[in-house]
């Protein structure tokens, strides 16, 4: 399946990133400033069966995994700090990669994928770095922006706001199955946000169109080699 993308220069990349960030942060501010945490409130904000609008806060990585669950010698606060610093370094690396791909005129789909990944990663890092100091907590109450007594956590200790869930199918595992026998399971049970969606779209583009993208990358590199050899001979 062919998929054409218009030329993505620096200005276009900035627009894409800002639009994703605007949608992501606007949705998080709306949820944060209008509802308490779903776990401590009245359940889903919107429940259509196949789709639920919730309000949960993720203190760790994807699917709620925390670094101190993997490395128990870390305290929860230290694990959160390490994770946030790692995310900041990853943002810098992805941004540099995106900048380089634009400068080198890489495949447009590759640049588009990096735009989505960078915007999504940046959207979640904003939560981790700043939300703890600009919001009050949401346990059983609606959070306040810039509360008088300070936020619910220090800088780098904020929680990522998630709200989208698509519980498409539910079933009970047979009792004879090891580890999960008799347990109830829902697909897709994980709660995510617009930033996560952007990252998934970017990764999806790289997976689905990898031959097209990296085939064009090889052509670009070969053309550069030809130009370099020609200039050296001249």
Which are the catalytic amino acids?
A: 162, 196
Task: Write out the chain in H/E/C secondary structure.
Answer: CCCCCCCCCHHHHHHHHHHHHHHHHHHHHHHHCCCCCHHHCCCCCEECCCCEEEEEEECCCHHHCCHHHHCCCCCHHHHHHHHHHHHHHHHHHHHHHHHHHHHCCCCHHHHHHHHHHHHHHHHHHHHHHHHHHHECCCCCCCCCECCCCCCCCCCCCCCEEEEEECCCEEEECCCCCCCCCCCEEEECCCCECHHHHHHHHHHHHHHHCHHHHHHHHHHHHHHHHHHHHHHHHC
């Amino acid at each position: 399946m062919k998929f054409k993308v218009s030329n993505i220069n620096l200005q276009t990349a900035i627009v894409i990133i800002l639009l994703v960030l605007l949608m992501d942060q606007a949705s998080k501010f709306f949820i944060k400033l209008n509802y308490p945490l779903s776990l401590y409130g009245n359940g889903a904000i919107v429940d259509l069966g196949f789709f639920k609008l919730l309000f949960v806060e993720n203190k760790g990585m994807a699917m709620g995994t925390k670094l101190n669950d993997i490395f128990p010698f870390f305290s929860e606060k230290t694990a959160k700090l390490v994770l946030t610093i790692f995310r900041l370094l990853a943002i810098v690396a992805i941004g540099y990669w995106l900048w380089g791909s634009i400068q080198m005129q890489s495949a447009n789909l590759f640049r588009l994928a990096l735009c989505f990944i960078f915007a999504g990663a940046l959207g979640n890092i904003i939560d981790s770095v700043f939300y703890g100091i600009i919001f009050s907590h949401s346990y059983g109450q609606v959070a306040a922006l810039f509360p008088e007594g300070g936020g619910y956590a220090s800088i780098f200790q904020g929680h990522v706001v998630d709200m989208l869930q698509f519980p498409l199918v539910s079933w009970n595992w047979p009792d004879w199955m090891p580890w999960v026998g008799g347990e109830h399971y829902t697909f897709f049970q994980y709660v995510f946000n617009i930033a996560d969606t952007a990252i998934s779209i970017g990764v999806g583009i790289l997976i689905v169109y990898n031959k097209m993208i990296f085939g064009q990358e090889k052509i670009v590199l070969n053309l550069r080699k030809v130009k370099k050899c020609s200039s050296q001979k001249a």
